[in-house]
């Protein structure tokens, strides 16, 4: 089919041609945002899901909705090494400048500017010129303790927004990469803001382990946030994800072709986009048949292995790779942690560090104590392709031969 007209959008955070199966979530968030604007209490959102299920796409869509509703928006993608204050400062600075231009801007904006300047110097972050404003009032966001200063800073900014009849939308992606301290500070800030009923709506997104991480950071976190889970698409939505974009280009799929794609992708959004895109390019004409899909399979698998899976695999040590291979031996998961080490032929504590490192890298997670699961869908079959034979983990021994 004409590659120029290929409607599919495989990638990270790329808006799909048909954003399907997430209507309820988007509608709920929209109502929450409108409640925030009318100063009614709402819980903030933390979107949880595995790699490639569409969290970033949802976060971006909610950000657009917030923008349309008149929110002032800060959006951050947490980097793996965590640097929340550094990323937050320029976003808040920009917001305060635009609040300052608003008709109702008053003293609260200046106070928030002062808090931002205090915060910047406490954490040694260049805030840039803040010409307007007063001498920073001592005592606001200036202790150097993030858990104290971040709530104070965000309260000051939210008060400034309230004073200007506006609201703040704070969007943070890849939340699992925040350090424990940063997460605790963020949760504490949301808690304080909720108690004061200030107009700040927080939306976070990340891997499913965040719920536990946030709960460990602050025990009240589970009551503070709603944690909607995004997962593989329901059957009908997955079908629409393929059919609707193709139909707009005048192209049809035979039902058996759709079934085949939904089977191999297990209805995971990212894989649907990749398969849709490859099959489109390879199929000679409409309608796309099951045979077209099957014929494309080796090329798609090669592409996914080389791009999507391989980059994750290459960042791991040999032992970490072997740990994942042992998990794959047991199937898609989740698996008992003890079974994984037994598959490797060792005691659990011999590989406990490797397991911890894999969790920190976001490769695996633990829903329940003693359980381990992949965060990347279909990673088990990739591991088997990559390492066809599982090697046991034999701690190195000295040879007895003389
Ligand atoms: N509801 C949906 N319907 C169809 N395609 C979707 C949907 N949501 C996301 N996609 C597609 O799936 C892919 C992955 O989306 P996205 O990057 O938002 O996932 P993610 O959950 O943020 O992944 P990661 O954890 O790796 O950041 C994109 O190509 C996007 O177009
Ligand atoms: Mg993402």
Using one digit for the tens of pLDDT, what is the confidence trace for 38-78?
Answer: 999 999 999 999 999 999 999 999 999 999 999 999 999 99
Q: Please report, for the domain that includes residue 58, its CATH number.
A: 3.40.50.300
Classified as helix, coil or strand, 28 is helix
Determine how β-strand 335-336 pairs with β-strand 168-173.
Answer: unpaired
Q: Please report, for the domain that includes residue 281, its CATH number.
A: 1.10.8
242 lines ligand 1 (CB under 6 A): no
402 pLDDT exceeds 50?
A: no
Question: From the CA of 56, how far away is ligand 2's center (Å)?
Answer: 4
Q: How far apart are CA 82 and CA 197, in angstroms?
A: 28
Q: Which of 46, 54, 307, 377 to mutate to test the pocket of ligand 1 (most atoms within 8 A of CB)?
A: 54
Burial class of residue 97 in the structure, from the number of CB atoms within 10 Å of its CB (0-12 exposed, 13-18 middle, 19+ buried): middle
Query: Partners of 204 in the beta sheet?
Result: 46, 172
Ligand nearest to the CA of 11: 1
Who's near 210: CB < 8 A, 6+ residues apart?
A: 46, 48, 175, 176, 204
Question: From the CA of 375, how far away is ligand 1's center (Å)?
Answer: 14
Q: Same structural domain for residues 177 and 240?
A: no
Q: Which of 12, 176, 261 to mutate to test the pocket of ligand 1 (most atoms within 8 A of CB)?
A: 12
97 pLDDT exceeds 80?
A: yes
Q: Name the region of 51 (left: φ>0; alpha: ψ -120 to 50; beta: rest).
A: beta
273 lines ligand 1 (CB under 6 A): yes
* CA-closest candidate to residue 75, choices 66, 88, 65: 88
pLDDT of residue 222: 85
For 287, the domain range is: 3-12+233-313
276 lines ligand 1 (CB under 6 A): no
Q: Same structural domain for residues 116 and 68?
A: yes
pLDDT of residue 131: 47
372 pLDDT exceeds 80?
A: yes
Q: Which atom in ligand 1 lies closest to the alpha carbon of residue 59?
A: 18
Who's near 381: CB < 8 A, 6+ residues apart?
A: 328
pLDDT of residue 391: 79
Q: Same structural domain for residues 185 and 200?
A: yes
Does residue 394 form part of some domain?
A: no
Question: From the CA of 93, how far away is ligand 1's center (Å)?
Answer: 30
Question: From the CA of 54, how far away is ligand 1's center (Å)?
Answer: 3
pLDDT per residue over 124-163, tens digit each? 887 776 544 445 566 788 888 899 999 999 999 999 999 9
Q: Which atom in ligand 1 lies closest to the alpha carbon of residue 50?
A: 25
* CA-closest candidate to residue 194, choices 74, 89, 40, 71: 40
Contact 5, 258 (CB under 8 A): no
pLDDT of residue 306: 92
Nearest CA owner, ligand 1 atom 25: 51
Domains: count for the chain? 3
pLDDT of residue 322: 94
Q: Same structural domain for residues 163 and 283?
A: no
20 lines ligand 1 (CB under 6 A): yes
């Amino acid at each position: 089919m004409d590659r120029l007209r290929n409607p599919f959008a495989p990638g990270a955070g790329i808006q799909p041609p048909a954003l399907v199966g997430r209507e309820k979530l988007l509608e709920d968030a929209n109502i929450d945002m409108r409640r925030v604007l009318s100063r009614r209490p709402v819980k903030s959102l933390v979107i949880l899901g595995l790699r490639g299920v569409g969290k970033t796409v949802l976060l971006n869509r909610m950000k657009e909705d917030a923008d349309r509703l008149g929110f002032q928006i800060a959006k951050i993608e947490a980097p793996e090494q965590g640097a929340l204050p550094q990323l937050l400062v320029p976003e808040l600075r920009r917001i305060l400048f635009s609040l300052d231009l608003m008709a109702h801007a008053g003293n609260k904006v200046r106070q928030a500017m002062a808090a931002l300047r205090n915060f910047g110097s406490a954490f040694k972050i260049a805030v840039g010129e803040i010409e307007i404003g007063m001498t920073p009032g001592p005592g606001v966001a200036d202790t150097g303790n993030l858990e104290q200063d971040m709530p104070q800073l965000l309260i000051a900014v939210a008060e400034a927004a309230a004073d200007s009849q506006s609201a703040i939308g704070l969007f943070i992606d890849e939340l699992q990469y925040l350090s424990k301290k940063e997460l605790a500070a963020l949760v504490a800030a949301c808690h304080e803001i909720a108690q004061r009923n200030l107009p700040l709506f927080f939306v976070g997104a990340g891997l499913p382990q965040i719920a536990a991480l946030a709960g460990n950071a602050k025990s009240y976190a589970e009551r503070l946030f709603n944690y909607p889970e995004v997962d593989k698409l329901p059957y009908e939505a997955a079908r629409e994800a393929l059919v609707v974009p193709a139909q707009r280009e005048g192209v049809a799929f035979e039902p058996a072709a759709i079934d085949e794609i939904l089977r191999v992708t297990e209805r995971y959004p990212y894989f649907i986009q990749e398969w849709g895109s490859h099959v489109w390019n390879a199929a000679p004409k409409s309608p796309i048949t099951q045979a077209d899909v099957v014929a494309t399979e080796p090329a798609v698998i090669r592409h996914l292995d080389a791009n999507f899976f391989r980059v994750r695999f290459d960042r791991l040590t040999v032992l970490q790779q072997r740990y994942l291979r042992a998990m794959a031996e047991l199937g898609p998961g989740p698996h008992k942690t003890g079974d994984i080490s037994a598959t490797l032929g060792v005691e659990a504590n011999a590989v406990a560090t490797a397991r911890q490192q894999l969790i920190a890298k976001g490769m695996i997670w633990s829903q329940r104590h003693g359980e381990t699961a992949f965060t990347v869908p279909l990673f088990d079959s990739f591991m088997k392709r990559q390492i066809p034979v599982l090697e046991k983990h034999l701690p190195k021994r000295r040879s007895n031969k003389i």
